[in-house]
Structure 1
Amino acid sequence: MSEDIKSKIQNYRTAPFDSRFPNQNQTRYCWQNYLDFHHCEKAMNDRGGDASVCEWYKRVYKSLCPASWVNSWDDHIAEDTFPGKI
């Protein structure tokens, strides 16, 4: 992982502005970052790469999403009933 990315992850405070989600309601931003994290993690594990590069998405969704949603989605993934495409 490049030093620039490592420093950005280390200095991370909260989710940055994303022009795809300009409104006050950040539900879609939360959902998209949750999916992006799991897509990234799956792709990196399938290719034998370092999944730590996916930490950015995890930090963003952890700062945006309520813990109850994340716990529910994790349970759905474990039960193979998750509604999203991972």
Structure 2
Amino acid sequence: MLDVDSQKPPKGKWSTPPFDPRFPNQNQTRNCYQNFLDYHRCVKRMNRRGKSTQPCEYYFRVFHSLCPMSWVRRWTEQIQNGTFAGKI
């Protein structure tokens, strides 16, 4: 797996997320959901270890690029209410 720095575009340049071989099809719904989960798992793990959450920004940018904001808002509300179905 590539490190986070090699996946980052230059500052200010982010057109689309890079190709993810786990999701080769045109429908990117699962990619959106998986990156949302990966972001929250990453933040949880980094906070538990007392480290910076900066490496998690990659997942944040990908799911913000792929996911409709209504989904993100709903999932975030579900996490806060304790009713989110995904395992974080």
TM over 0.5: yes
Mapped partners of 1:24, 1:6: distance in 2: 24
- In structure 2, the residue matched to 1:48 is 50
- Unmatched 5+ stretches in structure 2: none
Runs of 4+ in structure 1 deviating by more than 2 angstroms, as ranges, are: 9-13
Of 14, 20, 23, 1:21 maps to 23
Deviation at 1:6, TM superposition (A): 8.2
Deviation at 1:50, TM superposition (A): 0.3
Q: What amino acid is aligned across from residue 79 of structure 2 in structure 1? A: I
Mapped partners of 1:28, 1:16: distance in 2: 15
- In structure 1, the residue matched to 2:8 is 8
| Aligned sequence identity (%) | 54
Q: What amino acid is aligned across from residue 5 of structure 2 in structure 1? A: I
In 2 relative to 1, CA 6–52 (structure 1 residues): closer, same or farther, beyond 3 Å? farther
CA-atom RMSD in angstroms: 1.8
Deviation at 1:7, TM superposition (A): 8.3
SS at 1:30 equivalent = helix
Mapped partners of 2:51, 2:33: distance in 1: 24
Compare the two structures and name the one with the higher helix fraction.
Answer: 1
Normalised by the length of structure 2, the TM-score is 0.87
